[in-house]
Amino acid sequence: MIGSANEVMNLAAKAARGGGAPVAQAYAFGRAAACHLIAERPAADLDTALDALPKGPILDLPLLLMACAEARQNEAVIPAGPLPDLTLSYAQSQSFACTATRSGSQITLSQTFDQPAAQLPVKRVTLPDALAAKMQALAAGLLVPETEASRRAGAGAGLTDND
């Protein structure tokens, strides 16, 4: 599947949400997934992270980076973890300027909190078909079944709704 970074970001966030991640972590995963693929890092890392749900790096990495940001340290050293390239992508996806360099089993973050993050390059993103299918299947778990019972319970648009 080839799509825009925005399409991939939203699909990844929905997949994480459908896999059991809380909303904030799912959103962070979507941003990191787009950064990951734009940087041409291994798509298998995203697959592995989704497989680990409802635990794993999709929950842990945003919390780790948030703790570093809350400490307001301009330099922080964190463990690279089992998916170091994904950790780099999470760092790159921060809303403030954050660069990350890997050295062995550690990642050094250089953070500038009063400077916005650099704009990512605008380009089409290639998402392997198997991973796209997995993400779509997980995202489908968020949908309400299309049944008469779910409509009576308030799902979907009514007959007079036109918005």
78 near 69, Cβ under 8 Å? no
Note the pLDDT of residue 160: 58
Give the three-class secondary structure for 149.
Answer: helix
Q: What is the pLDDT along the chain (163 residues), one digit of tens a residue?
A: 888 888 999 999 999 999 999 999 999 999 999 999 999 999 999 999 999 999 999 999 999 999 988 888 889 999 988 999 999 999 999 989 898 999 989 999 998 988 888 877 777 888 999 999 999 999 998 877 777 877 777 776 665 555 5
Predicted confidence (pLDDT) per residue in 44-53, tens digit: 999 999 999 9
Which sequence spans correspond to the domains of the chain?
Answer: 2-152
Strands 96-103 and 124-126: unpaired
**Residue 55, token pair as written in the block:** 């635990």
Note the pLDDT of residue 161: 54
For 131-138, which contacts have Cβ atoms below 8 Å and span 24 or more sequence positions? 131/43, 131/46, 131/47, 132/1, 132/11, 134/15, 134/47, 134/50, 135/11, 135/12, 135/14, 135/15, 135/50, 136/11, 136/15, 138/14, 138/15, 138/16, 138/18, 138/19, 138/50
Give the three-class secondary structure for 111.
Answer: strand
**For residue 151, what are the contacts with CB-CB under 8 A and spacing of at least 6?**
none
DSSP state of 143: S
**Residue 75, token pair as written in the block:** 């330099």
Cα-Cα-Cα-Cα dihedral of 125, 128, 129, 135, to 10°?
Answer: -80
Separation of alpha carbons 68 and 79, rounded Å: 12
Note the pLDDT of residue 133: 95
Note the pLDDT of residue 157: 65
